């Protein structure tokens, strides 16, 4: 018997496993469907795309996307200790402070920016040192790039030359502008949630970690969750939880497991002969993600990541932990508004000194650099639904990108900004021909067609077990599942609105706050200078 069973050892699950077992009297089981994070590609930053469509990846595919020429899009998600923090691009971004104030305004007390900033700081070891926006001494190491590529630095200068502001810290007083990203790395190696939180806790006698254990259902006695069933090898097992079952399986896995366990839209569950424990129509709804489009340019100098696997690069990394292999690929970027009517930036840029196409699965030998304008304020919403009652079957994912025409309009503006920056003189020495979309595409109609043909996920699905009080809410402001007892969801699925930026840091924040809620502790108090309370972060 355990006090808590945590399903999923991704970013949130690793945080909770650490924080809950700080009390030696509390016994925790952490259940992970994937394996150990032992592959070297996990820890060498630039190698992460080599993990896609391997045993470390759930390798989901969406349904045919109606607005994207009916393409079925590949969605990598981490299936390994550390979850997606073990296969992501390591960018440390919190989003805009208005995101969290809006969460609170939607009926979620305790989730304003003032409420969550202390948890961002608590989680962090900011190598630049502490400030009103940053913390030191926390588990997660946040650093500057060790070996920023000259192409990335030129991109930032090109953006400034094009009229945009320079921003040295997207997580401080203002989000707008361009600069290099900070990353979750330590000494030139990936610093995943498994490295930061789980590994320091694994020696505790009150924590048990089971890998290759695929959760198949939540056990209930009446309306109370009392345990979890899971498949381990050829056997089916059950473990019980005296206090709570906590789902940390992510925006795809958590709603799927809820529905398989009888919590979700009643009519859908009955279609698969699943007994309904609690009819919650919002489970699997409200799916939001950040779509991205790649613009790719030939590079005239041999300085790109095409050299990352050379013997020289490998030796430099092995001996000094610097050079091309420390790259997170998306080294630089920025935040802009697609129109003056936007209250906060709705377009984020990811710049890489390499070839951004088909998730890195498609290789070219020539040197290149890429722009990735990304829509971070999507109006379109999708859904997760079941394909069957078999836990080993992936669910149906419909992202529904560009269902709302305003999203495609904003993406076109993002493409135009990328084009403008690419033509700045700071990039002139490196810029060759435009490989994609190509100089023959100049009109808005051409940009729209290109976006429909090329758009892919930026790996930020959220919202499918959203927090709130409305008819589609799945959890309350303490992340307890409505209508049942002893069950919480703690991961990106609880986010009612996708943050305006990369989602790993916000997911870790959610879990840090949830740990205090579960322990019954008092929320941490924020300290924000009064003069800066209206500024963006």
List of E strands, 222-294: 224-232, 235-247, 263-264, 278-279, 291-292
Per the annotation, the verdict on 290 as an active-site residue is no
Q: Which residue among the candidates 134, 367, 460, 482 is catalytic per the annotation?
A: 460
Straight-line distance from the first to the last Cα atom of the chain, in angstroms, rounded to the nearest whole number: 43
- Burial grade of 409 (CB within 10 A; 0-12, 13-18, 19 or more): middle
Token pair 């609170």: residue: 104
The CA distances from residue 98 to 95, 103, 174, 175, 305, in Å, are: 8, 9, 11, 11, 36
Phi, psi of 273 (to 5 degrees): 60, 35
- Burial code (b: 16+ CB inside 10 Å, e: under 16) for 368-401 equals bbbbbbbbbbbebbbbbbbeeeebeebbebbbbb
3-state secondary structure 202-228: CCCCCEEEECCEEEEEEEEECCEEEEE
The structure tokens listed for 506 are 């916000």
Q: Torsion-angle region of residue 93: left (phi > 0), alpha (psi -120 to 50) or beta?
A: beta
Residue 530 tokens read as 């009064």
Pair 402, 450: CB distance under 8 Å: no
Q: Which residue has the tokens 């109370």?
A: 224
3-state secondary structure of 496: coil
Residues near 111 by Cβ (< 8 Å), separated by ≥ 6? 100, 103, 104, 467, 477
DSSP 125: E
Structure tokens at 320: 């000094």
Number of CB atoms found within 10 A of residue 288's CB: 25
Largest CA distance in the chain: 69
Judge whether 477 and 109 are in contact, CB under 8 Å.
yes
Which distant-in-sequence residues (6+ apart) come within 8 Å of 67 by Cβ? Answer: 400, 401, 402, 403, 408, 452
Residues in the chain: 537
- Cα–Cα distance between 507 and 517 in angstroms, integer? 15
- Going by their DSSP bridges, the two strands 295-299 and 291-292 should be labelled as unpaired
Reduced to 3 states (helix: H, G, I; strand: E, B; else coil), residue 166 is strand
- Catalytic (active-site) positions: 460
């Amino acid at each position: 018997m355990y006090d808590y069973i945590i399903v999923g050892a991704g970013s949130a699950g690793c945080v909770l496993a650490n924080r809950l077992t700080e009390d030696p009297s509390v016994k925790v089981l952490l259940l992970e469907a994937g394996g150990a994070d032992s592959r070297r590609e996990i820890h060498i930053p630039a190698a992460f795309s080599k993990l896609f469509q391997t045993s470390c990846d759930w390798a989901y595919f969406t349904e045919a996307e109606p607005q994207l020429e009916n393409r079925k899009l590949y969605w990598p998600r981490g299936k390994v200790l550390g979850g997606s923090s073990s296969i992501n691009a390591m960018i440390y971004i919190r989003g805009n402070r208005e995101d969290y104030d809006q969460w609170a305004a939607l009926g979620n007390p305790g989730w304003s920016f003032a409420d969550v900033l202390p948890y961002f700081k608590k989680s962090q070891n900011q190598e630049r040192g502490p400030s009103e926006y940053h913390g030191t001494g926390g588990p997660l190491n946040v650093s500057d790039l060790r070996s920023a590529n000259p192409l990335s630095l030129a991109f930032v200068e090109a953006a400034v030359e094009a009229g945009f502001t320079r921003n040295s810290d997207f997580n401080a007083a203002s989000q707008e502008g361009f600069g290099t990203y900070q990353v979750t790395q330590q000494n030139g190696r990936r610093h995943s949630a498994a490295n930061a939180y789980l590994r320091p806790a694994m020696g505790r006698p009150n924590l048990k970690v089971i890998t290759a254990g695929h959760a198949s259902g939540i056990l209930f006695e009446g309306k109370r969750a009392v345990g979890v069933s899971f498949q381990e090898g050829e056997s089916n097992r059950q473990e019980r939880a005296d206090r709570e079952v906590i789902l940390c399986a992510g925006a795809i896995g958590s709603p799927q497991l809820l529905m398989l366990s009888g919590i979700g839209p009643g009519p859908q569950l009955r279609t698969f002969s699943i007994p309904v424990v609690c009819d919650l129509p919002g489970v699997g709804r409200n799916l939001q993600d950040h779509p991205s489009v790649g613009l790719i340019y030939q590079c005239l100098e041999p300085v790109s990541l095409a050299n990352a696997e050379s013997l020289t690069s490998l030796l430099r990394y092995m001996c000094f932990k610097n050079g091309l292999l420390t790259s997170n690929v998306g080294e630089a970027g920025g935040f802009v508004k697609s129109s003056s009517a936007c209250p906060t930036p709705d377009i984020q840029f990811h710049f890489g000194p390499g070839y951004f196409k088909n998730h890195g699965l498609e290789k070219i030998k020539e040197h290149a650099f890429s722009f990735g304008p990304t829509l971070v304020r999507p109006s379109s919403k999708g859904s997760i639904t079941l394909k069957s009652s078999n836990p080993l079957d992936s669910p149906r994912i419909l992202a529904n990108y560009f269902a709302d025409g305003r999203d495609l309009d904003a993406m076109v503006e993002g493409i135009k900004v990328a084009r403008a920056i690419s033509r700045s003189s700071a990039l002139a020495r490196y810029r060759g021909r435009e490989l994609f979309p190509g100089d023959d595409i100049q009109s808005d109609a051409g940009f729209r067609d290109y976006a429909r043909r090329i758009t892919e996920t930026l790996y930020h699905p959220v919202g499918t077990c959203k927090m709130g009080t409305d008819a589609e809410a799945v959890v309350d402001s303490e992340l307890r599942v409505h209508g049942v007892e002893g069950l919480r969801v703690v991961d990106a699925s609880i986010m009612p609105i996708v943050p305006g930026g990369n989602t790993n840091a916000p997911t870790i924040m959610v879990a840090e706050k949830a740990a205090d809620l579960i322990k019954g502790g008092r929320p941490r108090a924020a300290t924000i200078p009064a003069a800066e309370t209206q500024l963006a972060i």
